[in-house]
């Protein structure tokens, strides 16, 4: 089953490194990218996204605010908030919107684990 | 993020540098949170610009003309430069109070000020630079922290003057401690020879991260 993954990060480098891992682990999945919350919301509205990786520290709305908005639009998207800023408040708020907190820099292991779990959940939900 | 790089760093290199700084400072913020009694530390999006020294001075002047305190450390290695943790002088005692737990008398706080500032700066600046150095796979030697007082532009005219090229990489990120009147920013300065070296390190980093050479993956800014 091929999924569609949305990568939201204002850093092109960060998006490229996620793309590298995704291409390696799940070459048949589709990925789309946004550089800020506004673009991300537009993409969520126009196409069926399965998973979204949201950078926390972005100009404009941050990844947690965006995550809460995405949740309202589509409660089934598997969400991860990505940041090196592992302060309790941020990790907790990620939990509150049903998002996984992933530490930056992302590793193949941490991203892979999130993807695998999200894949299982989405497959179970579609059964 | 604003980026203006006259021929020095291309867009992707600046992007990579901003991301490195973002990761370094975000981690340092988590350490600062522990130090200030579990109060959340709020960070801005980092701003990285390559500017002339007078422009950098003007940028700092725009932050206000209040007297400032800075914890200053020099880093040396493949890249050499200065890192500064800067905040208004009026904030300084409040930061010390936050870090020492708030049970001390004003006298004790004043007595501890230098030491507490140096230690706070050391943890934040070292934390930030160590993360960056690790990600660039290089080691950086850090000097002991030094406390400076004055108005912003003075911090950019420290001796010795730059060896070559009056261009500095100026990056800053604002921070504030929730529930406390503590705010400030982190700045890093490098001059031309270090920028050339940094460019090479960033290209290696980009290649590791993305699996493709940086020159093929982005246009020149």
* pLDDT per residue as tens, chain B (221 positions): 444 444 578 999 999 999 998 899 888 888 888 888 888 888 888 888 888 778 877 877 777 767 889 999 999 998 888 898 988 888 888 888 888 876 788 888 888 888 888 888 888 898 889 899 999 999 888 898 899 998 877 777 766 655 555 677 777 788 888 888 888 888 888 877 888 899 999 999 999 999 888 764 444 43
| Closest chain A residue to the Cα of B43, Cα to Cα | A57
The span from the CA of B36 to the CA of B99, in Å, is: 5
Q: Which of A39, A42, A99 is nearest to A73 (CA)?
A: A42
Radius of gyration for the alpha carbons in chain A, expressed in angstroms and rounded: 13
The answer for residues whose C-beta is within 8 angstroms of residue B76's C-beta and 6 or more apart is B140, B141, B143
Q: Which two tokens stand for residue A120?
A: 């299982």
* Contact at CB, B209 and A59, closer than 8 angstroms: no
Asked whether A81 and A101 are in contact (CB, 8 A), the reply is yes
Q: Any bridge partners for residue B52, and if so which?
A: B167
- Residues A78-99 have pLDDT tens digits of 999 999 888 888 999 999 999 9
Q: Which residues of B touch A19 (CB under 8 A)?
A: 210
Q: Which residues of B touch A82 (CB under 8 A)?
A: none
Could you give the C-alpha distances from B191 to A32, B13, B154, B188, B197, in angstroms and in order? 38, 16, 17, 10, 10
Asked whether B175 and B43 are in contact (CB, 8 A), the reply is yes
Residue A74: strand, helix, or coil: coil
Asked whether B95 and B109 are in contact (CB, 8 A), the reply is no
The span from the CA of B185 to the CA of B176, in Å, is: 9
In 10 A of CB B64, how many CB atoms? Answer: 11
Q: Any bridge partners for residue A87, and if so which?
A: none
Q: What is the ipTM of this complex?
A: 0.81
Can you list the positions of beta strands (E) in chain B? 41-43, 47-52, 68-76, 81-88, 141-142, 146-150, 167-177, 182-190
Can you list the positions of beta strands (E) in A9-107? 30-34, 51-55, 78-83, 99-103
The span from the CA of B13 to the CA of A69, in Å, is: 32
Q: Which residues of B touch A64 (CB under 8 A)?
A: none
A→B contacts (Cβ < 8 Å), by residue, are: 10-14, 16-17, 19-20, 57-59, 83-89, 104-105
pTM listed for this prediction: 0.84
Q: Which residues of A touch B211 (CB under 8 A)?
A: 20
Q: Which of A13, A58, A83 sits opposite B26 (nearest CB)?
A: A83
Average pLDDT over residues A28-44: 97
The span from the CA of B188 to the CA of B172, in Å, is: 7
Q: Which of B18, B43, B210 sits opposite A85 (nearest CB)?
A: B43
- How large is the greatest C-alpha to C-alpha distance in chain B, in angstroms? 60
The span from the CA of A50 to the CA of B212, in Å, is: 27
Three-point CA angle A5, A40, B29, nearest 5° = 90
């Amino acid at each position: 089953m091929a999924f569609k993954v949305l990568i939201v990060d204002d850093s092109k480098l960060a998006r490229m490194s996620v793309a590298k891992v995704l291409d390696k682990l799940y070459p048949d999945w589709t990925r789309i990218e946004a550089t800020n919350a506004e673009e991300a919301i537009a993409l969520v509205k126009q196409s069926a996204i399965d998973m979204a990786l949201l950078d926390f520290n972005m100009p404009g709305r941050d990844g947690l605010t965006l995550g809460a908005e995405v949740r309202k639009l589509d409660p089934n998207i598997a969400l991860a908030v990505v940041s090196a800023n592992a302060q309790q408040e941020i990790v907790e708020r990620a939990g509150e919107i049903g998002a996984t907190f992933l530490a930056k820099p992302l590793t193949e292991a941490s991203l892979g684990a999130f993807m695998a779990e999200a894949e299982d959940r989405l497959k179970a939900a579609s059964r | 993020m604003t980026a203006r790089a006259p021929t020095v760093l291309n867009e992707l290199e600046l992007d990579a540098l901003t991301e490195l700084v973002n990761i370094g400072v975000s981690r340092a913020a988590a350490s600062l949170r522990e130090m200030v009694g579990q109060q959340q530390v709020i960070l801005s999006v980092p701003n990285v610009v390559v500017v002339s020294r007078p422009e950098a001075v003007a940028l700092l002047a725009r932050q206000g003309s209040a007297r400032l305190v800075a914890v200053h450390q020099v880093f040396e290695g493949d890249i050499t430069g200065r890192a500064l943790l800067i905040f208004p002088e009026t904030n300084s005692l409040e930061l010390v109070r936050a870090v020492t737990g708030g049970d001390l008398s004003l006298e004790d706080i004043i007595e501890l000020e230098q030491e507490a500032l140096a230690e706070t700066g050391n943890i934040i600046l070292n934390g930030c630079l160590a993360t960056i150095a690790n990600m660039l796979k290089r080691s950086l030697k850090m000097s002991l922290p030094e406390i400076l007082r004055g108005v912003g532009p003075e911090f950019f005219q420290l001796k010795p003057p730059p060896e070559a090229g009056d261009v500095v990489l100026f990056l800053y990120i604002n921070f504030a401690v929730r529930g406390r009147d503590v705010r400030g920013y982190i700045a890093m300065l490098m001059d031309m020879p270090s920028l050339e070296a940094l460019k090479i390190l960033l290209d290696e980093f980009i290649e590791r991260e993305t699996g493709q050479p940086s020159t093929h993956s982005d246009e020149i800014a």
